[in-house]
């Protein structure tokens, strides 16, 4: 192991809360820190330590100026000259803050988290691209979801900026993708190779389990001791295919089987939620929405009620439903393996390409529910020995393919490409 690490600068629009980008960035920083690399943070919304951070309001995609630009760039095929001026003016300001950030903290390698991938903040992507063009800065661009994977970006008036910065393909940038389909399409569209780095969990640390704080979780969310808890550990958005989870529990025809949804609808409205509630009533399925009882950290709410974290929900679940129509990766599925819970998976494309070939023992469906699927789920619920074999196998495979050790090997390659030394 090398004696001294490097100063790594994480750059993104937001590092706060439990969105996938923030969570994976934190895991990267932890693995790098284990090998003496020190991480610093640049973004528009941060919950990192202020002593190692630079918060720049215009770097946040929720800033009113950035929203103004966004609304005029998407859903239109031409843009006003004033939009162009505003993009370039804000980009120039952000570029100067990147110079300040790298100088202030002595940054040696920059890790851009999704800010050169999805165009939520066009001036930030342009600023980062110009900064790299001017400096040749050693940069790792970690791509979570590209704009061409989202229909809402297909009609736009900013193709020039998208080609320039999302992603930028300058020689000093190493690209990282999270699934093989993204890797292939990036190569096809931009002519650049990328290293595939899957999302990971720390399989070397055993899950927390049932303890004094979460022992009353089921009771507090309205479950009886002998209820069978099906957990849908996602937001309530159409691409999660939650109607299939309701249909499954309806097919099991057991009033003790109940569907618990951990997250709220978010910013996509409640129409889908209302449709699910109607479907649940029609199928005679008890639907428990517990987003008000789940948070990033355990604690108490304003009424003095316990608020749990997602780990508590996983620990009490009997079965995980994950019938997504599309996923960039599938964090909740890896979490099911980590918490040793059986799972139902709709065979979304990235599961078929990257996760399924590893040999995980999950119950799969192909876009619709069959009697065979519900019978297999029933067997998992009834047969404890079969269930245990299943989850033990999945935990072992998860540790092999989606652990911090895997991330450490991948980061070693990326860092060594810049430094010429084995720093991890």
Looking at the predicted structure, is the pLDDT value of residue 1 above 50?
A: no
Span 373-395, mean pLDDT?
97
Span 356-378, mean pLDDT?
96
Question: Residue 418's pLDDT is what?
Answer: 93
Question: Residue 35's pLDDT is what?
Answer: 77
Looking at the predicted structure, is the pLDDT value of residue 99 above 70?
A: yes
Question: Residue 2's pLDDT is what?
Answer: 44
Question: Residue 181's pLDDT is what?
Answer: 95
- Helix intervals (H) in 222-264: 242-252
Looking at the predicted structure, is the pLDDT value of residue 189 above 80?
A: yes
* Tens of pLDDT, residues 222-264: 999 999 999 999 999 999 999 999 999 999 999 999 999 999 8
pLDDT bracket for residue 3 (50, 70, 90): very low
The per-residue b/e assignment along 307-324, b for 16 or more CB within 10 angstroms, e otherwise, is bbbbbbbbbbbbbbbbbb
The pLDDT > 90 percentage for the chain reads 89
The pLDDT > 70 percentage for the chain reads 98
* Residue appearing with tokens 């103004």: 68
CA distances from 94 to 42, 46, 72, 258 (A): 11, 16, 20, 49
Mean of all residue pLDDT scores within the chain = 94
Tokens read off for 276: 């699910």
Span 141-170, mean pLDDT?
96
* Tens of pLDDT, residues 291-316: 999 988 899 999 999 999 999 999 99
Span 171-177, mean pLDDT?
97
Among 161-165, 207-211, 319-323, which is the least confidently predicted range?
A: 207-211
C-alpha–C-alpha distance, residues 158 and 75, integer Å = 10
Task: Tell how far CA 159 is from the center of its chain.
Answer: 26
C-alpha–C-alpha distance, residues 230 and 316, integer Å = 10
Question: Residue 273's pLDDT is what?
Answer: 95
> Angle 181-183-187 (CA atoms, 0-180°, nearest 5)?
115
217-401: which CATH topology?
Answer: Rossmann fold (3.40.50)
Structural domain 7-200+404-419, CATH architecture: 3-Layer(aba) Sandwich (3.40)
Span 121-135, mean pLDDT?
98
C-alpha–C-alpha distance, residues 286 and 73, integer Å = 43
pLDDT bracket for residue 196 (50, 70, 90): very high
Whether the link from the prior residue into 362 is cis, omega within 30° of 0, is no
Among 148-152, 242-246, 273-277, which is the least confidently predicted range?
A: 148-152
Looking at the predicted structure, is the pLDDT value of residue 424 above 60?
A: no
State the DSSP H helix or E strand holding residue 332, giving kind and residue range, or none if neither: helix 331-338
Residue ranges, comma separated, of all CATH 3.40.50.2000 domains in the chain are 7-200+404-419, 217-401
pLDDT bracket for residue 267 (50, 70, 90): low
pLDDT bracket for residue 120 (50, 70, 90): very high
SS3 content of the chain, % helix, strand, coil (to 5): 45, 15, 35
Question: Residue 36's pLDDT is what?
Answer: 82
Question: Residue 423's pLDDT is what?
Answer: 59
């Amino acid at each position: 192991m090398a004696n001294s690490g490097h100063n790594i600068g994480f750059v993104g629009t937001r590092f706060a809360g439990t969105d996938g980008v923030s969570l994976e960035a934190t895991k990267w920083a932890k693995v790098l820190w284990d090998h003496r690399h020190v991480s610093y943070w640049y973004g528009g919304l941060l919950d990192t330590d202020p002593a190692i951070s630079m918060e720049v309001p215009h770097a946040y995609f929720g800033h009113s100026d950035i929203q103004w630009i966004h609304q005029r760039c998407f859903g239109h095929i031409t843009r006003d000259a004033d939009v162009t001026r505003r993009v370039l003016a804000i980009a120039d300001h952000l570029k100067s803050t990147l110079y300040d950030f790298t100088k202030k903290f002595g940054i040696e390698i920059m890790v851009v988290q999704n800010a050169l991938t999805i165009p939520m903040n066009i001036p930030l992507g342009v600023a980062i691209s110009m900064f790299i063009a001017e400096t040749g800065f050693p940069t790792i661009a970690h791509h979570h979801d590209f704009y061409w994977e989202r229909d809402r970006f297909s009609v736009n008036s900013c193709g020039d900026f998208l080609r320039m910065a999302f992603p930028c393909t300058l020689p000093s940038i190493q690209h990282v993708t999270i699934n093989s389909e993204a890797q292939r399409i990036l190569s096809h569209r931009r002519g650049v190779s990328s290293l595939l780095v899957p999302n990971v969990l720390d399989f070397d640390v055993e899950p927390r389990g049932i303890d004094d704080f979460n022992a009353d979780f089921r009771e507090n969310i309205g479950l009886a001791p002998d209820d069978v808890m099906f957990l849908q550990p996602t937001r309530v958005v159409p691409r999660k295919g939650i109607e299939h989870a309701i249909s499954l529990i309806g097919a099991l025809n057991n009033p003790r089987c109940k569907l618990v949804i951990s997250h709220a609808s978010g910013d996509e409205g409640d129409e889908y939620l209302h449709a699910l509630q109607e479907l649940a009533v029609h199928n005679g399925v008890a639907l428990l929405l517990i987003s008000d009882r789940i948070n990033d950290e355990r604690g108490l709410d304003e009424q003095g009620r316990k608020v749990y974290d997602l780990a508590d929900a996983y620990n009490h679940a009997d079965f995980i439903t994950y019938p997504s129509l599309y996923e960039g990766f599938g964090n909740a599925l890896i979490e099911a393996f980590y918490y040793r819970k059986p799972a139902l998976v709709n065979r979304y494309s990235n599961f078929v390409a990257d996760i399924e070939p590893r040999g995980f023992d999950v119950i799969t469906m192909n876009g619709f529910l069959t009697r065979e699927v519900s019978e297999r789920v029933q067997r998992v619920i009834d047969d404890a020995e079969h269930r245990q074999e299943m989850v033990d196998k999945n935990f072992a495979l998860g540790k092999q393919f989606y652990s911090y050790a895997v991330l450490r090997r991948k980061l070693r390659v990326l860092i060594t490409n810049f430094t010429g030394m084995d720093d991890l």
